[in-house]
Amino acid sequence: MSKLVAPHGGKGLVCALLHGNDLEAEQEKAAGMKKIQVSARAKGDLIMMGIGGFSPLTGFMGKEDWKGVCENLQMADGTFWPVPITLDITKEEANDINKGDEIALEYEGEVMATMTVNEKFEMTEADKKWECEKVFKGEGEESADDVFWKIAEEDHPGVIMVMNQKEVNVAGPVKVLSQGEYPAEYKGVYLTPAETRAMFEERGWSKVSALQLRNPMHRSHEFLAKISIEVCDGCLIHSLIGNLKPGDIPADTRVEAIKILIDNYFVKDNVINAGYPLDMRYAGPREGLLHATFRQNYGVNNMLIGRDHAGVGDFYGLFEAQDIFDKLPTTGDAGKDLQCQPMKIDWTFYCHKCDGMSSLRTCNHGKEDRVILSGTKLRKALSEGAEIVDHFGRDEVLTHLKKYYAGLTEKVEVKMQGAASGDSM
């Protein structure tokens, strides 16, 4: 019997991906269906439903689940879920679709899935704004009531994404036909929940941590992973390999940077370098909960949550993504409630006087003695060709990243927010 945490939802891994004869039959059937073009975000959501990463979801959410998730962090049946998983279509498309219809969901010429339509519901501008306020509004200065909507529609990529959605959401179970480019382009790194669970079992792991990454690993990331390895059996370094906002470093560059770091500075038997196919939502605390939810499906029971987890700008409090774990609704049903627990880590930095990596819990020296580390700070320095402060990152990794930036013909301005600068420490 497995010692790993059970998948979320109490139903095991719920996988919508078809194989073999079933896949061929559904592909043939899909050729005659009405085709709906989906976004990159929906593509990633479909793949996660396909491989069991979004267990227990079987498809896109209907109105009651959407409302419950936004308002209470629970679907209509009480199952915990932190971020809406919905599919938007145009009014014209909705008028041509009836309840019970089967449609094909296509992304850039490839049919990703088929779907049986159970429901469709209008999303007015007011509905979209309500979703944004529930999901993306935090406790940071840019989320204050008098400034949120003055800033968010221009500077918050998650809010922009929701407000640009089409007029109708359509819901129902899916059959997933493709994992896109990920198995080929990220062979050995793109892993399904079944594969990571098998790897953990093979290594004898039962207590597993996960480090969420959308940036290359700097010294603070390395420190977090190593802290978790000291108290867990091993760490899954789990990078987002879907889409990011402009100015972020692409997945292949980040994955290689992590490999370089692991090869030179980790005991390989205690760490796994992996990737997952979602787009970043930049939902701060809510996204931290989403990261923990699907990591539970991957077999992880300890989610590393540091400063400004999944944040953007100054919309979120520095440790709001940690605090939210203390406010979760519970039903008393282990299947429905979140089982993956946060591993909360304070500000981390290199301290010259300590002569090593430290945190606010272990270092009593002043800010002038500390090298404040953040992915945003690193990207800003690299994009501007500025000198990288000593002890910010490992030399081998920085050499790799500098080579990437040297090859760019167009560079995006990287804005420095308070959470990344260290001003608010």
138 touches 121 (CB < 8 A): no
Report the distance separating Cα 187 and Cα 275, nearest Å. Answer: 10
Q: Identify the CATH number of the domain defined by range 188-421.
A: 3.40.50.620
Report the distance separating Cα 349 and Cα 307, nearest Å. Answer: 11
Which pLDDT score, from 0 to 100, does residue 244 have?
74
Residue 380 banded pLDDT, cuts 50, 70, 90: confident
* C-alpha separations of 227 from 264, 273, 348, 357, 359 in Å: 17, 17, 11, 11, 11
Among residues 96, 112, 298, the alpha carbon closest in space to that of 198 is found at 298
Among residues 229, 233, 226, 241, the alpha carbon closest in space to that of 188 is found at 241
pLDDT digits (tens, 9 = 90+) for 308-366: 999 999 999 999 999 999 999 999 999 999 999 999 999 999 999 999 999 999 999 99
Q: Where in the chain is the domain with CATH 3.10.400.10?
A: 20-180
Q: Residues of 139-165 as b/e, b for ≥16 C-beta within 10 angstroms?
A: bbbbbeeeebeebbeebbbbbebbeeb
Please give the model's pTM, rounded to 2 decimal places: 0.94
Cis peptide, bond prior to residue 277, ω within 30 of zero: no
The residues annotated with a catalytic role in the active site are 214-215
Neighbouring CB atoms inside 10 A of 167's CB total: 17
Please determine, for residue 150, whether its predicted confidence score (pLDDT) is greater than 70: yes
Report the distance separating Cα 306 and Cα 302, nearest Å. Answer: 13
Size (the chain), residues: 425
Residues 187, 255, 40, CA angle at the centre, nearest 5°? 75
pLDDT digits (tens, 9 = 90+) for 35-82: 999 999 999 999 999 999 999 999 999 999 999 999 999 999 999 999
The region, left, alpha or beta by phi > 0 then psi within -120 to 50, assigned to residue 284 is left
Among 28-37, 76-85, 252-261, name the one with the lowest average pLDDT: 252-261
Q: Identify the CATH number of the domain defined by range 20-180.
A: 3.10.400.10
Please determine, for residue 425, whether its predicted confidence score (pLDDT) is greater than 60: no
Q: Where in the chain is the domain with CATH 3.40.50.620?
A: 188-421
Q: For the purposes of burial, counting CB atoms within 10 Å of the CB of 344, is it exposed (0-12), middle (13-18) or buried (19 or more)?
A: middle
